[in-house]
A = this chain, B = another copy of it.
Amino acid sequence: MGDTSGAGEPTLEEQIAAYQREFQDLDPQVEKIVSALSRLNRRMNVAYGRQTAELGIGNTDWEVLKALVLSGAPYCLGPGDLAKRLGLTPAAMTHRIDRMVTEGLVTRERDETNRVRVIVAITAEGREKWLAAMRLATVFEEDLLQDLSADERTALGEVLTRLLRRVEHAQPDAGGRLSDLD
C-alpha cells in the first residue's frame, strides 16, 4: 500500500535518503559509492555461494581449493601455511581439512622427510571442482560487467586498485575473516 517497497530490502536510493534523513553530516556521494560496493559484494557472494552449492561444496571448501591451486605446482601446502593464507587459526584449519578429506577434495599425509610436517594436497576431484567453479564464476563475472565498455573497465579497475592500495597501506595485513571469495 505505501511506497516503502514492502518489507524486503530498500532500494539504494531509498536507503541513502534514509541515511541523510537520520544523519545529516553525510556526503551522499560517498555513501552511494560505499553502499553500492557493499551491496555489489553481497550479491556476488550470494551468486558464488549458489554456484559452489550446485557443485556440492561449501564456500569454505572453495577457499581452501583456491589457495592450493593458486599456490602453484605441486599444489600442496601444510595446514599452517593454509591457515596463514586464509587468516584462521591452525585448529580451524585442522577441522576444515578433516571435512575436506572425507569429501575427497584433498589428501593429508605426513611429510616423510620431516615427520612433524603434514602435507595437504588437492585431489583430481578437488581440482575439477575448482575448475568447474571457476567456469561458473567467469560466466557470472562477464555477465556482471557486460554493460561496461573496455575503457570503462580499465578506468574502474584502476580506480578500485587505487582505493585498495590506500586501505591496504592503512591496515597492512589484518587477518580479518570476512568474505574472502576473490
Q: Judge if A3 is at the interface, Cβ distance under 8 Å.
A: no
Q: Judge if A90 is at the interface, Cβ distance under 8 Å.
A: no
Chain B residues within an 8 Å CB radius of A147: 162-163, 166
Chain B residues within an 8 Å CB radius of A94: none
A to B CB contacts below 8 Å, 26 in the list: A7-B81, A8-B85, A9-B85, A18-B72, A19-B70, A23-B131, A27-B138, A29-B150, A29-B157, A30-B141, A30-B153, A32-B160, A33-B157, A34-B44, A34-B182, A37-B182, A38-B41, A41-B41, A41-B178, A42-B176, A42-B178, A43-B164, A143-B170, A146-B166, A147-B163, A148-B163
Interface residues of A (CB under 8 A from B): 7-10, 12, 15, 18-19, 21-23, 25-27, 29-47, 49, 69-72, 81, 84-85, 87, 131, 134, 138, 141-148, 150, 152-157, 159-164, 166-168, 170-171, 173-174, 176, 178-182
Chain B residues within an 8 Å CB radius of A15: 70, 182
A139 to chain B, nearest CB (A): 11
CA distance in complex: A176, B80 (Å): 31
CA distance in complex: A119, B168 (Å): 42
CA distance in complex: A18, B12 (Å): 35
CA distance in complex: A7, B81 (Å): 7
**Are A32 and B179 interface neighbours, CB within 8 A?**
no
Main secondary structure of the interface of A (DSSP, over half): helix
Chain B residues within an 8 Å CB radius of A156: 33, 156, 159
CA distance in complex: A39, B162 (Å): 12
**Are A44 and B38 interface neighbours, CB within 8 A?**
yes
**Are B33 and A171 interface neighbours, CB within 8 A?**
no
**Are A160 and B37 interface neighbours, CB within 8 A?**
yes
CA distance in complex: A32, B47 (Å): 18
